């Protein structure tokens, strides 16, 4: 009996401790202070990273199976319609704060100078997979569109959604202009599969997996992220509080 009560007392005490800890974690002031860590990481990494290239690997390093993650098959009728004829009528829009908005077909994107890179994809959860990606450097598209000096971010609007909330992501212009930042249509020398984001996905190689937006339909150049959806710059940032700076 006394063993039982002691056990209950321990469970009760640990419950109180947990409740106390969780109150601290949930406090808005504490959240603000903890958020300063993200600012510090972003500033420090911006300072030291410059235009340094993400490591590239050899063909022997490619993962035998690259796990599909997030949405694996968009359900929007407009997307399914485009998919039905192999994305022949699909167009990528580049607009927002640009002098010359673009609308590009897959064939036009493939006709541009291409970059191929074997890089590692790091999920925020901790796993990694290596693949070869081919696509058009985003910097070429942005130069062609003549981005305004007021633009600070590129927002990627996607065809997939979670319960009706569209997926989107954003990166700053220094990441957008990085030579390894490409819009990939080819993975491991095959056209991008629907599971991996057909017909086009972002590869931004110095950032975590949730930045690698799949099913990209539109690249919008903006000066502020606050007006999009939850205002935090991306679906997972809005929905689960993931850090916008995904370099760590």
Partner 1 sequence: MTIATNRGIMNAMASSPLILRIRWPVRLWHWINALSVFIMLMSGMMIFNAHPRLYWGKFGANFDKAWLEIGNHGTRGYVALAGHEVPTTGLLGYAQSTALAFPPILTIPSSYGLSAARGWHFFFAWILVASLVAFLVYALVSGHLRRDLALTREERRPSHLAQDLWDHARLRFPRGEAARRYNPLQKIAYLSVVGILLPLLILTGLTMSPTMNAVLPWLLDLLGGRQSARSLHFIAALGIAGFIAVHLLMVVLAGPINELRAMITGWYRLPPERRP
Confirm or reject binding of residue 231 to partner 1 (CB under 8 A): no
Q: Which is nearer to partner 1, 34 or 80 (CB)?
A: 34
Residues near partner 1 (CB under 8 A), total? 49
Considering the complex, what minimum distance in angstroms separates the CB of residue 60 from partner 1?
10
> In whole angstroms, how close is the CB of 190 to partner 1 at the nearest point?
18
Contact flags string 52-81 toward partner 1, x per CB under 8 A: xxxx-x---x-xxxxx--------------
Candidate segments 19-27, 71-79, 93-101, 182-190, binder of partner 1 by CB under 8 A:
19-27
The nearer residue to partner 1, 88 or 162, going by C-beta atoms, is 162
For position 187 contacting partner 1 by CB under 8 A, the verdict is no
State the Cα–Cα distance between residues 28 and 13, nearest whole angstrom.
25
Minimum CB distance to partner 1, residue 172 (Å): 12
Kindly report whether the peptide bond that precedes residue 199 is cis, defined as omega within 30 degrees of 0: yes
Say whether residue 123 binds partner 1 (CB under 8 A).
yes
Site residues for partner 1, window 126-155 (CB under 8 A)?
126-130
Where along the sequence are the contacts to partner 1 (CB under 8 A)? 14, 17-18, 21-22, 25, 31, 33-38, 40-41, 45, 48-49, 52-55, 57, 61, 63-67, 120, 122-130, 205-208, 240-243, 247-248
């Amino acid at each position: 009996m006394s063993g039982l009560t002691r056990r209950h007392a321990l469970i009760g005490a640990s419950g109180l401790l947990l409740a106390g800890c969780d109150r601290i974690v949930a406090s808005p002031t504490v959240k603000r202070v903890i958020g300063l860590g993200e600012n510090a990481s972003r500033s420090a990494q911006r300072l030291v990273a410059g235009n340094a290239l993400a490591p590239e690997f050899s063909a022997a390093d490619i993962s035998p199976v690259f796990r599909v993650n997030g949405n694996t098959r968009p359900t929007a009728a407009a997307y399914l319609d485009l998919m039905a004829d192999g994305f022949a009528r699909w167009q990528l829009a580049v607009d927002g704060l640009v002098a010359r908005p673009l609308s590009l077909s897959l064939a036009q994107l493939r006709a541009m100078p291409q970059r191929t890179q074997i890089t590692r994809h790091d999920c925020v959860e901790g796993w990694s997979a290596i693949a070869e990606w081919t696509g058009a450097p985003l910097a070429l598209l942005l130069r062609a569109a003549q981005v305004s000096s007021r633009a600070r971010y590129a927002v990627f609007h996607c065809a997939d959604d979670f319960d009706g909330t569209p997926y989107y992501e954003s990166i700053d212009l220094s990441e957008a202009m990085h030579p390894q930042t490409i819009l990939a249509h080819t993975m491991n020398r095959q056209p991008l599969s629907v599971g991996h984001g057909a017909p086009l996905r972002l590869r931004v190689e110095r950032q975590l997996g949730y930045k690698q937006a799949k099913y990209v339909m539109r690249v919008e150049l903006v000066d502020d992220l606050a007006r999009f959806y939850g205002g935090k710059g991306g679906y997972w940032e809005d929905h689960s509080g993931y850090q916008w700076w995904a370099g760590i």
